[in-house]
Amino acid sequence: MIVKSCPITFESVDENVVRMHAAFIAILAMVFIWTGSLYVLLFLLYDFAIRVAGYRSYSSIFLVSRYIIKKLSIKTALTDMGPKAFATKIGLGFMFIATGLLLSNYLLASVIVMAILAVCAILEAIFNYCVGCQFYAIWQSLVKS
């Protein structure tokens, strides 16, 4: 039986910034799907890696997202960072896979991986639905087995 749960860190993050960030990731993923540009993948790979390493303030997407939320005067909505951090790690995995596939001349496979990432980012951006939480529940059930 899979019990839905999310990783909890007791650190907070602004949900609106996360959702704006997800929107930019979805847009960039779609740019890659349209162009097949290695540069887009490398930019996203860097962004995910820098955030997984704990340096989100060096992420240009994070900085732009935070700036836009502030300029639009959208109130801060704090949420636990755990699920978002877990989803970022999954996203980094997707980026490594997509980049490796593209570098191995498997453009279509790379596009498919990026399409999945785009769908996950769109779900987060529009519906505040964290696919990472679903993966985490599955992961926990596998680890406990």
Give the model confidence (pLDDT) of 61-104 as tens digits. 999 999 999 999 999 999 888 888 889 999 999 999 999 999 99
CA atoms within 13 A on the CB side of 44: 33
| Mean pLDDT computed over every residue of the chain | 91
51-64 average pLDDT score: 95
Q: Closest by alpha carbon to 18, among 73, 82, 71?
A: 82
Amino acid identity at 23: A
Q: Which residue has the tokens 């926990």?
A: 140
- DSSP string over the chain: -PPP-----S-EEEHHHHHHHHHHHHHHHHHHHHH--HHHHHHHHHHHHHHHTT-GGG-HHHHHHHHHHHHTTPPP-EEEHHHHHHHHHHHHHHHHHHHHHHHTT-HHHHHHHHHHHHHHHHHHHHH---HHHHHHHHHHHHHH-
Provide the percentage of residues in the chain whose pLDDT is more than 90: 73
Section 6-19 average pLDDT:
85
State residue 5's pLDDT score.
Answer: 61
**Where are the chain's structural domains?**
12-144
What confidence score (pLDDT) does residue 4 get?
A: 54
pTM value is 0.89
Q: What is the pLDDT of residue 51?
A: 97
* Rounded distance between C-alpha atoms, residue 10 and residue 138, angstroms: 22
